[in-house]
A = this chain, B = another copy of it.
């Protein structure tokens, strides 16, 4: 039973009727929340890359390696614990973070290449 306001009449056990959102309205409400969370995720990720890019510049300037295996291991251990606490599949979180971290490492290598070119050009200046 569907009304104009996206509500449907639901009959309770004792014979009373209550208005509850119909399926389309419920779906739309959930999707608005999902869209808001996605916008937050994108902006969080953008801030994460702004931060890891600064790490990349620091590493390039001081000739530190792009990959730090010890740091990565500690990150995964912490993420696994956080995933379990949040009732998320740690395997899924690990794969997702592997994907993010591989993008970070790629960006670090690009930053290192730019930094090296800049230094070479400065050294060439008479």
Contacts and interface: CB of A to CB of B under 8 A. Distances in A.
A13 interface: no
Contacts of A46: 86-88
A82 B41 CA distance: 10
Q: What is the count of identical protomers in the complex?
A: 2
A93 B42 contact: yes
A39 B78 CA distance: 9
A33 B71 CA distance: 14
Interface in A60-112: 62, 64, 71, 75, 78-79, 82-83, 86-89, 92-93, 95-97, 99-100, 103
Instruction: Classify chain A's interface size.
Output: 35 or more
The DSSP consensus for interface residues of chain A is: helix
Contacts of A34: 48, 51-52, 55
B23 A71 contact: no
A31 B74 CA distance: 11
Given A30-B58, A42-B88, A45-B88, 20 more contacts: A23-B58, A23-B62, A27-B55, A30-B55, A33-B51, A37-B51, A38-B48, A38-B75, A38-B78, A40-B44, A41-B41, A41-B45, A42-B86, A43-B82, A46-B87, A46-B88, A95-B99, A96-B96, A96-B99, A99-B99
